[in-house]
Chain A
Amino acid sequence: MEYKPIRKVVSGNYAAAYAVKDARVQVVAAYPITPQTSIIEKIAEFLANGEVENLQYVPVESEHSAMAATIGASATGARAFTATSAQGLALMHEMLHWAAGARLPIVMVDVNRAMAPPWSVWDDQTDSLAQRDTGWMQFYAENNQEVYDGVLMAFKIAETVNVPAMVVESAFILSHTYDVVEMIPQELVDEFLPPRKPLYTLTNFDNPISVGALATPADYYEFRYKLAKAHEKAKKVIKEVGKEFGEMFGRDYSQMIELYRTDDADFVFMGMGSLMGTVKQAVDILREEGYKVGAAKVRWFRPFPKEELYELAKNVQGIAVLDRNFSFGQEGILFTEAKGALYNTGAKPLMKNYIVGLGGRDFTVNDVRKIADNMKAVIEKGEIDVEVDWYHLKR
């Protein structure tokens, strides 16, 4: 069948809901939380209008229960989905370990929102990054199209390696902002994403199993190794699925770090999520003004694309890491990861951390220009002025 996209003007949240519908998700268990709410409202609307078949919708009383119910559904072999934000994601934390440890390919959308207090509903990546060590894969979407594509790919990748995946979009900047999204006709989604083949199911009554049973020190260690290996395997699967997606639908996701005009760049801006749209636009403008800059958008934070980062880092003089998040007592989280990944490789570009956009603070093309000027000066001098730059601070 020839691919003719269905164009719709939707919010990031609706893009997620449409992807859930097109992926033929069988169970959604969710609790509403701003700014995620319209995802599950839209799914409920699909259900009420009879637009989805074979979908069980489980309204629960908290996010901890939402993840618990999603885990139960996934363990029966169903394709299961949930969505959350910030405090809700934090409340799920314990259950996130269960999902990954039991090797259940759940997909969740997290709408990035700042952690309180002070109370905030605006964009900030610290909520999802705080779940770094739960064993979930994490995909950061730049725009509404990537939310839709990300959910479809996440199911395929998760179900291939049996590891859950989080698709992350930014509060309001994407979740509530409308844009054109090219959706894929159902038959082609079905071709790309066949029904799930579970590793095991709880409903096989001839061979009953128990899930997540006790492992003594004699066995626990091996299961941790297996999950670590699954993440390694996921790197390969992500690239293959991203390439296949590109061949079928014209948007290639085979790079875990999307490189934008980096070929001859002196230095690059590196970051994740919606802010990289602004950065790419800024790169175009700065290029015209004579700056030799590029953008490196980290699409997958877990598994972390170490090898791709190394390929980039050995060819540039500097990397400005833009973190819309912060790990207290240290620095931006992506900055830590990127520096750590390069330590033993021999690639040693100057790396500086800019903390930007926390709690929804506006981040514009002009900000990128100012950072470019600072980064240029740093490179000319050959040493960084300050390692962690609270760029927006009112001084």
Chain B
Amino acid sequence: MNTLFGEKKEGATKIVFTKVDEYPEAPISLGTTLSNFTGDWRTFIPIINEDKCVKCYICWKFCPEPAIYIKDDGYVAVDYDYCKGCGICANECPTNAITMEKEEK
């Protein structure tokens, strides 16, 4: 997992520095979330059951990452690049439409 540096999302790869002189002078990360995918952190993954979803968007409001988005059909979906698997959405959903399942990597 690379948390400090990276290029923009197109072809995002991690940059690993092997020598001290290669580091930037100040601890900044380039590209911010365009390259730092909080989805790397995940152990559990939210699965949305549209049969139970009532489109209340509580999950969308509560998600601490920019990970839940609203699709054209009004249902919600998860951007797995950024979903860190915290389970807040599943906990908040009033209809239990979201379940957290162990992710196979």
Contact = CB atoms under 8 A, between A and B. Distances in A.
Contact of A214 (B4, B16, B23, B26): B4
25 contacts: A103-B25, A162-B25, A199-B26, A208-B31, A209-B29, A209-B31, A210-B28, A210-B29, A210-B32, A210-B36, A211-B28, A212-B27, A212-B28, A213-B4, A213-B28, A213-B29, A214-B3, A215-B3, A215-B4, A215-B27, A216-B3, A219-B17, A219-B23, A226-B23, A230-B25
Interface in A210-237: 210-216, 218-219, 222-223, 225-226, 230
Given A210-B32, A223-B27, 19 more contacts: A101-B27, A102-B28, A103-B27, A207-B31, A209-B29, A209-B31, A210-B28, A210-B36, A211-B27, A211-B28, A213-B3, A213-B4, A213-B29, A214-B3, A214-B4, A216-B3, A219-B17, A222-B20, A230-B25
Q: A216, A223, A230: which has the most chain B beta carbons within 10 Å?
A: A223
B16 to A, nearest CB: 8
B23 A222 contact: yes
Contacts of A103: 25-27
B12 interface: no
Per DSSP, chain A at the interface is loop
Main SS class of interface, B: loop
Contacts of B31: 207-209
Interface string B23-41: 1011111111010100000
B19 to A, nearest CB: 9
Contacts of B16: 218
Given A219-B17, A222-B20, A223-B23, A200 B28 contact: yes
A209 B32 contact: yes
Contacts of A219: 4, 17, 23, 27
A37 B30 CA distance: 39
A209 B32 CA distance: 5
Interface residues of B, number: 17
A74 to B, nearest CB: 11
Contacts of A225: 20
Contacts of B23: 219, 222-223, 226
Contacts of B1: 216
Given A208-B34, A209-B32, A216-B3, A102 B20 contact: no
